[in-house]
Structure 1
Amino acid sequence: MNNVPSQYLPRFFVKQRFTMMVNRYEIVEALPDGSAGRVFAIAQQKRMAMKEQVTFFADEARTQPLFSFKARQMMDLAAIYDVTAADGTPLGAFQKDFKASLMRSSFHLFGPNLEAYGQERNATTAILRRFINFPFSFHFDFTDKATGAPVLSSERQFSLRDRYTVTVPDQRVDFRLAAAVAVGMDALMQR
């Protein structure tokens, strides 16, 4: 877990673990055969925080920060979340599209030379999961606003514990930005 991953990864997994006071996320390497490899980042989200901030660490003891995301405003339904490297270098941002999310969760994604929009692929599943507490499988697809090309997808597996497969076909998307968006979407949907 000590090695920092390259800045681009075409695919990885996000696993959520529940604890009493925090949501814990593990970012896991996806091996070529589709199985899970090593854990290379760990993050925790405090529940009921006034201003959302999540830091990703390289180690279990949470002593070596890698990157983070933080809300610009407190308690804003359409807050912008800035993603930064451990040294404070901006990597990009994401924002929930509150109005569109009333029917189908939707997000804006901003990165260097990139603006993308993503939403749940299946409108029926989006509506059902708002009323039924069931471990639905669902997909988010982000496309480049200028070209319509796929940028990022996050697929929640059908299981009791949250597990996502994140695929990043666009090499402009820094791995750290993709991981922050995947965890941020889960946190913002209050999963």
Structure 2
Amino acid sequence: MQQYTFNKYFAKKSFLKIFGGEIRIFDENKTNLLFFVKQKAFKLKEDITVYADETKSKELLKIKARSMIDFSAIYDVVDVSSNESIGSLRRKGFKSILKDSWEILDAKDQVIGSIDEDSMLKAMLRRFLTNLIPQTFFITVNKNQVGVLKQTFNPFVPQFNIDFSADTAKILDRRMGIAIVILLQIIEGRQE
């Protein structure tokens, strides 16, 4: 489980993949590929598999939507090797129209945290004027900020620098952190 020991990551989504997108998550130096996702196009219900590399020989996580095309969808995160439910992520539908907002749920569907876009003003500017303002997401669990995702300035390729605070590893399971990064790139990336 070496992939989950890092505090900093770099995530990059492929540009213009017609038949499904690809996401690669590297270490902070952008040298070692740690996670790979090949998303299938034209799916009504998200079913995402996270692999250890591009050969897709080792599955690590599954991220599955509970229902088809749901504005406030819930996505369950499961560790493939143990079949353990890690928790879920729920998009706050109407609240996310103006500013992206998610809830982090534990394995018993209890809200333990949130994922929020940086500011209402910047969110409105991104949605209605330009996509040239990079997004920042703050991850909070039990009122502790446990991570920050900062989009790099690149209007063509969605990329994020991810920082999970070193001393909060016990508060947020890194597997859930990786699922958050992937869902934000897939679901919120559709707005661009």
- Smaller-chain TM-score bracket: 0.7 to 0.9
| Matching residue of 1:23 | 21
Structure-2 separation of matches of 1:41 and 1:186:
14
Deviation at 1:186, TM superposition (A): 1.8
Structure-2 separation of matches of 1:45 and 1:184:
11
What stretches of structure 1 of length at least 5 have no aligned partner? none
| Matching residue of 1:164 | 160
What stretches of structure 2 of length at least 5 have no aligned partner? none
What amino acid does structure 1 have at the position aligned with 2:9? F
Structure-1 separation of matches of 2:132 and 2:175:
26
**Alignment match of 1:151 (pick from 146, 153, 156):** 146
| Matching residue of 1:13 | 10
Deviation at 1:22, TM superposition (A): 0.9
| Matching residue of 2:58 | 64
Moved over 3 A (4+): 111-114
Structure number with higher strand proportion: 1
| Matching residue of 1:142 | 139
Structure-2 separation of matches of 1:152 and 1:114:
17
- More contact order relative to length (CA 8 Å, sep ≥ 6): 1
| Residues paired across the two proteins, number | 182
Flag the 1:133–1:46 CA change in 2: closer, same or farther, 3 A. Answer: farther
Structure number with higher helix proportion: 2
Secondary structure of the structure 2 residue equivalent to 1:129: helix
CA contact (8 A) 2:37 2:51 kept: yes
Secondary structure of the structure 2 residue equivalent to 1:22: coil
| Matching residue of 1:93 | 88
